[in-house]
Amino acid sequence: MSESLSKEQAKKLVDKYAEDAIRPMKNHKGFLPWMGFLGLVMVVFGYAYYIQLTEGLGVTAMRDYVSWGLYISNFVFFVAVSLVGMVVSAVLGLAGQKWVKPITRVSEIIALGFVMVAGLVIITDMGRPDRFLNLFMYGRLQSPIVWDVTVITTYVAISTLLFILPLIPDLAFIKKKMKDMPVWQYQLYNILSLGWIGTPEQYKILHKSIRMLSIIIIPVAMAIHTVTSWLFASTLRIGWDTTIFGPYFVAGAFVAGTAAVIIVMYILRSNYKLQDYFTDYHFDMMGKLLVLVSLLYAYFNINEFLVPAYKMKTGEAVHLHTLFQGVYAGLFWVVQIIGMGLPIFFMIFKHWRKPNNLTFIAVIVLIGAFLKRYIIVVPTLLHPHLPIQNVPEEFHHYFPTWIEMAVTAGAFAMSLTIITILLKIFPVIPMWELAEEKGITEEFEKYD
């Protein structure tokens, strides 16, 4: 970094950045089939949701006791994944971890894709979505739902800014560089680049704003998932009535989000030849990060399950028996051991932090994270303080119907669509930041 590159080398490097950043935005043979697939899933979603709207929430498997099910666990999962934007671009960035530079934009895109859909997911759970505006007309500050709506909206806003601001120099660059783009795209870049001409003064303002947003987003991100955990912790239910839920959820979110970033990094790297940006070193570091956050999460899990299991209070005992050796034991142990324990163990070894292996682990961790939300939501509701009696047999169980699964798949399709489109429209490689690191900002700005 310190040794200055010759003019020629610098130009070559900028050339390479431009080429690599623009390549994923060009047409790709897999793009249309992929979008077609996502579109198809969303059509099925539309059909399923239409049935739910006309016939009522009864088309789900939810009933008066398990009154929250897959939809709410989806919501928690989507919020959890979106937290990664904050971890990578704010926490690691502020901590001076230079290696995260190429990953910041990917993680912001994932954050946006998931947090935007989280808001929609919660609507799919509403009995009267037609009265959504009541939240604003009659909103009461006492209710954690209102807090959630508030912080998630704020997080969407700040995340969007934190995505758009660091794009400015790159968009100004691409505007000059990409000749064959349609008019709307040019206009978009033109507007979003805000008349950027790359003066030192502009750089100074940009750095300052990014830094400020990085600081602001930390408490907001903590808040979205803490408040989401309070949807449960603020009740008197056995299994939810615990003080540890805030940090427990936040730690779990770090795990889910880091895994998601690793997967998207891998897809970008192998589809668009971006090995020079998402290098083995980056996977190695992300693997170490995943070990760190998983250990943190494991620590909270031990506290969450071992302490009540030691005491075995009446209600807790019933709940824990269901998890440890009852109906949910299979799922519980799979999630805890395969989804958390074994990944930690394997990732300690360097071999398992290589791109292919690490991505494999990340997929398992992400699936585990999804199932974990389900385990947090459902079993607790099956064990209220008073017995479930004089109701039909189906009230004693819960397993999602095809409608719930279709709506879930639709939510994922929406997130992936947002992520795909953002990756198509915007350069995923933060060119100016890399140029800055190499000390060739001047060449980058003067490039034509």
Partner 1 sequence: MSDNNSNPNSRRDFLKIGSLIGIGAVAAGAAGYAGFAAQDGKEGHAGEAETALSDSEKKIKVLTEDGQLAEIKASELSPVQKDEYTSALQEQGREGIPGKHWVMVIDLARCRNVRACMASCQNAHHLREEQHHINVLRMQDAEHTEPYFMPKPCFHCDNPPCTKVCPVDATFKRQDGIVLIDNERCIGCRFCIAACPYSARVFNWFEPKNEEEDQDLLYNVELNVPQKKGTISKCLFSADRLREGKLPYCVSACPNGVYYFGDLNEDAVTNGTSGETTRFSELIRKNAGYTLLPELGTKPNVYYLPPKNRMFPFEFNGKTTLEDEHHG
Q: Which residues bind partner 1 (CB under 8 A)?
A: 55-58, 62-65, 67-68, 125-129, 131-132, 134-135, 137-140, 142-146, 149, 231-232, 234-237, 318, 381-392, 395-396
For residue 340, give the nearest of 377, 378, 381, 304 by alpha carbon: 304
Are 340 and 367 in contact by the 8 Å Cβ rule? The answer is: no
Q: How far is the CB of 63 from partner 1 (least distance, A)?
A: 7
Tell me how far apart the alpha carbons of residues 85 and 444 are, in angstroms, rounded to a whole number: 26
Q: How far is the CB of 112 from partner 1 (least distance, A)?
A: 25
Are 76 and 376 in contact by the 8 Å Cβ rule? The answer is: yes
Crossing angle of helices 280-311/355-381, nearest 10°? Answer: 30
Are 443 and 10 in contact by the 8 Å Cβ rule? The answer is: yes
Tell me how far apart the alpha carbons of residues 96 and 93 are, in angstroms, rounded to a whole number: 5
Q: How far is the CB of 57 from partner 1 (least distance, A)?
A: 5
Nearer to partner 1, 27 or 389 (CB): 389
Q: How far is the CB of 380 from partner 1 (least distance, A)?
A: 9
For residue 431, give the nearest of 196, 203, 171 by alpha carbon: 171
Nearer to partner 1, 380 or 417 (CB): 380
Tell me how far apart the alpha carbons of residues 170 and 176 are, in angstroms, rounded to a whole number: 10
Q: How far is the CB of 113 from partner 1 (least distance, A)?
A: 24
Nearer to partner 1, 168 or 382 (CB): 382
Nearer to partner 1, 48 or 231 (CB): 231
Q: What long-range pairs does 270-275 form, CB within 8 A, spacing at least 24?
A: 271/24, 271/28, 271/30, 272/20, 272/23, 272/24, 272/28, 273/20, 273/23, 274/20, 274/24, 274/428, 274/429
Q: How far is the CB of 314 from partner 1 (least distance, A)?
A: 10
Nearer to partner 1, 141 or 183 (CB): 141
Nearer to partner 1, 341 or 384 (CB): 384
Q: How far is the CB of 240 from partner 1 (least distance, A)?
A: 8
* CB atoms inside a 10 Å sphere around CB 255: 32
Structure-block tokens of residue 314: 């009446």
Nearer to partner 1, 80 or 231 (CB): 231
According to DSSP, residue 328 is labeled: T
